[in-house]
Amino acid sequence: MRNGIHPAYGPVVFRDRAANHAFLTRSTMSSDKTIEWEDGHTYPVVDVEISNVSHPFYTGTARVLDTAGRVERFERRFGKRGRA
């Protein structure tokens, strides 16, 4: 790897404000805000709007779209078209 062209890669805390959850990982993102982590060290913190703790897919609250019902409703409204 060439020196001087890659962003700094280090520990960063990502904090999900909606779920009040934070996790420490490594990233190239940086922030002016810092937080003292459980190990006593201070790390930059990046606030995110959604994470695996608050995302509907991972929490099991995701809605399943009824695509068959939508197609049938469209066909009732506009009629079926024959194949050419």
Say what the pLDDT of residue 33 is: 95
Determine the residue type at 16: D
User: What are the pLDDT digits (tens) for 43-84?
Assistant: 999 998 887 777 666 566 666 666 667 778 888 888 877 655
Match 């099991």 to its residue by tokens.
60
Q: Residue 11's pLDDT is what?
A: 96
6-39 per-position pLDDT tens digit? 998 999 999 988 888 899 999 999 899 999 999 9
Edge-to-edge order in the sheet of strand 42-48: 21-27, 10-16, 42-48, 34-36
Q: Is the pTM higher than 0.85?
A: no
Residues 14, 30: Cα–Cα separation, whole Å: 10
